[in-house]
């Protein structure tokens, strides 16, 4: 019997059912210790998503990075803003606090305060921690300010010129110290091209400022490469005494003044992690939750005006182990009514719905006149 191809609306319903099926009851978490990974999204319209994922603590001890199959959605809820009290309330509603081994998040004060109020150990995500270390070295540094200003000027002057191919990459305004690597990688490449006489006269003239910053560019590029290697090591192996020793050995040979500042900050971070690890391996990366948000943004990128809808259930649908049988059960057991109930409880009105209400008010006023 040929039923034809399902419509896009049907596929969306299937995705939402799959997402609903990934949420678990309180009893599910009572058998072992769990690591919580939490974050809130950037603003979508006038709302933010609070996402909290749960990972079995023993999975974090296996010496490999987390995957979507390892995580279970604990909280996926939308609000105008997320204060620490609201976050702690959501956590208490969905899991017994005694089952939480530790929590991972960025340096956001609302998340940190929520974990503190629950007496939960807070592990700072390594990406954000390293960003603060890099910021402490480069912010206010005269060489850095001169270099980045020269790059901005080069972009402004040459982006539409015949030598646009040498224009440096754009620097993100948000979290700029998490994204310095491409700027220094570009600088190193351009210097190498100049040294090998691979630039024409116009290109040489435009890039002449690089020579005075040569030492700074190469030293900074080396330091950023080392920090990337340490991040990769700790993201894959987790933090323990062995990975700590290996990480410190990677940065040990570098003796520049900036490297010494980073070493001091790195030792402070490792000492804090050592106290929290208590001899065990702990996860110190929230990459998996950033990946979830990244995929969601790709999905909704073409229709941001709608705001956050129940399509956010696609985040939950990404998680857990899904095979043909579990997917079949989700399609059969989860009813459309449950999707609507979840939406009413966790999403409230979308930006699109609010705009519709506003338009109706306008229509009533206009018709009255």
Mark which of 230, 259, 277 sits at the end of a domain: 277
- Could you tell me if residue 208 is left (phi over 0), alpha (psi between -120 and 50 degrees) or otherwise beta? alpha
Say what the pLDDT of residue 99 is.
94
Contact (CB, 8 A) for 147 and 216: yes
At residue 299, φ and ψ (nearest 5 deg) are -70, -40
Q: How many domains does the chain have?
A: 2
Both 20 and 110 in one domain: the answer is yes
| Res. 243 pLDDT band, cuts 50 70 90 | very high
Q: Which domain holds residue 118?
A: 8-124+286-364
Can you tell me the distance from the alpha carbon of 267 to that of 270, in angstroms, rounded to the nearest whole number?
5
Cβ atoms 332, 24 nearer than 8 A: no
**pLDDT grade, residue 3 (50/70/90)?**
low
Lowest mean pLDDT of 12-26, 176-190, 319-333, name the range. 319-333
Judgement on whether residues 142 and 270 belong to the same structural domain of the protein? yes
Look at residues 226, 242, 277 and tell me which one is the last residue of a structural domain: 277
Q: How does pLDDT run across 60-76, given as a tens digit for each residue?
A: 887 788 999 999 999 99
Residues 175/162, Cβ–Cβ less than 8 Å? no
| pLDDT of 305 over the 60 cut | no
pLDDT above 90 for 251: yes
Comparing CA positions, the residue from 115, 113, 93 lying closest to residue 37 is 115
pLDDT tens digits, one per residue of 8-39: 888 889 999 999 999 999 989 987 899 999 99
Same domain, 61 and 164: no
Query: Which one-letter DSSP state was computed for residue 80?
Result: S
Residue 246 lies in a domain: yes
Q: pLDDT digit string (tens) for 102-136?
A: 999 998 899 999 999 999 999 999 999 999 999 99
- In this structure, the answer to whether residues 244 and 146 fall within a common structural domain is yes
In this structure, are 295 and 239 located in the same domain?
no
Catalogue the E-assigned strands of 11-93: 34-40, 48-56, 72-79
Give tens-digit pLDDT for 193-231: 999 999 999 999 999 999 999 999 999 999 999 999 999
- Residue 102, domain member (yes or no): yes
Confirm whether 1 is domain-assigned.
no
Does residue 355 share a domain with residue 297? yes
Domain boundary among 245, 277, 309: 277
Q: Are residues 189 and 301 in the same domain?
A: no
What whole-number distance in Å separates Cα of residue 131 and Cα of residue 228?
11
- For residue 101, is pLDDT > 80? yes
Q: What are phi and psi of 36, to 5 degrees?
A: -100, 135
DSSP state of 282: B
Does 115 share its domain with 136? no
Both 24 and 118 in a single domain? Answer: yes
Asked if residue 242 belongs to a domain, the reply is yes
Q: In terms of domains, do 143 and 259 share one?
A: yes
Q: Which residues contact 203 (CB under 8 A, 6 or more apart)?
A: 163, 166
Q: Please tell me whether residues 97 and 149 are part of one structural domain.
A: no
Query: Are 48 and 80 in contact, with CB atoms under 8 Å apart?
Result: yes
Query: Is 3 a domain residue?
Result: no
Residue 98 covered by a domain: yes
- Tell me, yes or no, whether 296 and 341 share the same domain: yes
Query: Is 300 within a domain?
Result: yes
pLDDT confidence bin for 308, thresholds 50/70/90: confident
The answer to whether residue 369 sits within a structural domain is: no
* Cβ 100 vs Cβ 122: under 8 Å: no
């Amino acid at each position: 019997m040929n039923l034809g191809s399902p419509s896009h609306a049907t596929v969306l319903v299937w995705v939402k059912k799959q997402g609903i099926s990934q949420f678990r009851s309180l009893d599910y978490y009572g058998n072992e210790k769990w690591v919580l990974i939490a974050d809130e999204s950037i603003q979508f319209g006038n709302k933010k998503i609070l996402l909290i994922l749960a990972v079995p603590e023993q999975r974090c001890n296996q010496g490999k990075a987390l995957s979507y199959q390892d995580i279970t959605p604990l909280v996926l809820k939308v609000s105008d803003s997320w204060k620490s009290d609201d976050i702690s309330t959501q956590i208490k509603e969905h899991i017994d606090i005694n089952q939480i081994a530790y929590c991972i998040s960025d340096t956001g004060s609302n998340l940190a305060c929520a974990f503190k109020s629950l007496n939960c150990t807070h592990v700072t995500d390594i990406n954000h921690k390293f960003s603060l270390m890099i910021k402490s070295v480069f912010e206010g540094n005269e060489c850095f300010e001169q270099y980045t200003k020269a790059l901005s000027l080069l972009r402004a002057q040459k982006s539409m010129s015949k030598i646009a191919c040498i224009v440096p990459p754009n620097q993100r305004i948000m979290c700029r110290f998490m994204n310095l690597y491409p700027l220094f990688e570009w600088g190193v490449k351009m210097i190498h091209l100049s040294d090998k006489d691979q630039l024409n006269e116009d290109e040489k003239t435009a890039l002449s400022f690089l020579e005075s910053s040569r030492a700074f560019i190469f030293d900074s590029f080396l330091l950023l490469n080392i920090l990337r290697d340490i991040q990769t090591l700790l993201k894959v192996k987790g933090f323990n005494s062995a990975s700590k020793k290996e990480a410190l050995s990677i940065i040990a040979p570098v003796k520049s003044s900036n490297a010494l500042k980073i070493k001091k900050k790195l030792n402070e971070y490792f000492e804090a992690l050592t106290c929290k690890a208590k001899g065990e391996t702990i996860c110190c990366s929230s990459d998996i939750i950033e990946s979830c948000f990244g995929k969601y943004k790709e999905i909704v990128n073409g229709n941001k005006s709608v705001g956050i809808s129940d399509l956010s259930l696609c985040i939950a649908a990404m998680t857990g182990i899904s095979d043909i049988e579990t997917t079949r059960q989700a399609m059969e057991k989860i009813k459309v009514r449950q999707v609507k109930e979840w939406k009413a409880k966790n999403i409230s009105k979308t930006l699109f719905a609010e705009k519709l209400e506003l338009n109706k008010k306008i229509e009533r006023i206009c018709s009255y006149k």
